[in-house]
Homo-oligomer: A and B are copies of this chain.
């Protein structure tokens, strides 16, 4: 693909256009991923997540500055909320990360979260790949909110940083949201506020109680991102985690799992798409759909019928065979 070649040769506009295609789940996505696949593996991906208002954007901003000082290039994916009125980003690129906008070593992309039922984690994985193929040393993925979507996105990263603030109830919210389990590092941001020491101590104890593994003790880092306090330490701990992952063989193991998941999801989606198209077209299968919609048959019994050999499968095999023989 020409666009991919332009991107690989350093064309930022081509990168931006490819990202748009991946976000919109364009029909070219398989082609794009196939083309960039040989160029992956170099970029190291860090997820930054936590409850709204924890100051994640500022942490990302300051961490980027630390990485740039060391000469590394950075790609930033900010999963941004969308306005229901304009269809655009509520907190767009415009007001974020202003200092990095003129820096060629930093590429920033906001991704809309709304309306993509289950699509976001999938497309985020593709965007990470594009930034990695483009040659970014670090890819930072910032998510807004605390839900399943955020947990799913974090399956695509190498190191997960959970950012909290010393407000009451924050810890329990974190546990609720399942963030406790996915944290490789905790950051207690706005550490000048009352309660920060307590939260650091509390998290430290919880981490200690829970950890049974020798290879990594989850550190708790106090930061004031706005004042650039603790960010060097955060960077150092991220590097320590990366090293621990590499030395224990866990980085490769994690990435194998990511690839496996991606493959199974791809197969699943492809099969589902084919099936749904068949169900609409095939007269016998469409008959089941009508009965299901009317509540006359339960979904399981209908699935039994549809998945009998001789109905859907046979129809599917015929269609695939026809298409492949050039029909």
- Interface with B: A96-104, A109-117, A234-242, which one? A109-117
Q: Is A320 an interface residue (CB 8 A)?
A: yes
User: Which single member of B209, B260, B267 contacts A85 (CB below 8 Å)?
Assistant: B209
Query: What mask results when residues 94 to 133 of chain A are scored 1 for a CB within 8 Å of chain B, else 0?
Result: 0000000000000000000111011010000000000000
Q: Is A197 an interface residue (CB 8 A)?
A: no
CB distance B295 to A255 under 8 Å? yes
Q: Give the chain B neighbours of A227 by CB distance below 8 A.
A: none
Q: Is A270 an interface residue (CB 8 A)?
A: yes
CB distance A268 to B268 under 8 Å? yes
User: Which single member of B37, B52, B295 contacts A40 (CB below 8 Å)?
Assistant: B295
Query: From residue A153, how far is it (CB to closest CB) to chain B in Å?
Result: 10
Q: How many copies does the complex hold?
A: 2
User: Which single member of B117, B255, B265, B275 contacts A267 (CB below 8 Å)?
Assistant: B275
Q: Is A30 an interface residue (CB 8 A)?
A: yes
CB distance B299 to A33 under 8 Å? yes
A149 to B295, CA, bound (A): 25
CB distance A294 to B256 under 8 Å? yes
- Interface with B: A1-9, A18-26, A217-225, A303-311, which one? A303-311
Interface size class of chain A, counting residues whose CB lies under 8 Å from the partner chain: 35 or more
User: Which single member of B149, B175, B209 contacts A90 (CB below 8 Å)?
Assistant: B175
Query: What mask results when residues 267 to 289 of chain A are scored 1 for a CB within 8 Å of chain B, else 0?
Result: 11011100110010000000011
CB distance A266 to B300 under 8 Å? yes
Query: From residue A37, how far is it (CB to closest CB) to chain B in Å?
Result: 4
Q: Is A16 an interface residue (CB 8 A)?
A: no
Q: Is A152 an interface residue (CB 8 A)?
A: yes
Query: What mask results when residues 142 to 162 of chain A are scored 1 for a CB within 8 Å of chain B, else 0?
Result: 001111111110000000000
**In the complex, what residue of chain B is closest to A149 when comparing beta carbons?**
B148
A259 to B288, CA, bound (A): 12
Q: Give the chain B neighbours of A324 by CB distance below 8 A.
A: 308-309
Query: From residue A23, how far is it (CB to closest CB) to chain B in Å?
Result: 16
Query: From residue A142, how far is it (CB to closest CB) to chain B in Å?
Result: 13
Q: Is A44 an interface residue (CB 8 A)?
A: no
Q: Which 7 A-B residue pairings sit nearest by Cβ, starting from the closest?
A: A147-B147, A81-B176, A30-B300, A37-B298, A148-B149, A263-B299, A256-B293
Could you show 30 A-B contacts with beta carbons less than 8 Å apart?
A37-B298, A52-B173, A82-B175, A83-B175, A84-B181, A85-B209, A113-B176, A113-B178, A117-B151, A118-B118, A120-B148, A144-B176, A147-B148, A147-B150, A255-B295, A260-B292, A260-B293, A263-B292, A267-B272, A267-B303, A267-B306, A268-B272, A271-B271, A271-B272, A271-B275, A271-B307, A307-B320, A309-B324, A313-B313, A313-B317
Inter-chain pairs besides A84-B175, A113-B176, 6 sampled, C-beta below 8 Å:
A81-B175, A81-B176, A82-B176, A265-B299, A271-B271, A271-B307
Please give the residue numbers on chain A whose beta carbons come within 8 Å of chain B beta carbons, in ascending order: 29-30, 33-34, 37, 40-41, 52-53, 81-85, 90, 113-115, 117-118, 120, 144-152, 169, 172-173, 175-178, 180-181, 209-210, 255-256, 259-260, 262-268, 270-272, 275-276, 279, 288-289, 292-295, 298-303, 306-309, 313-314, 316-317, 320-321, 324
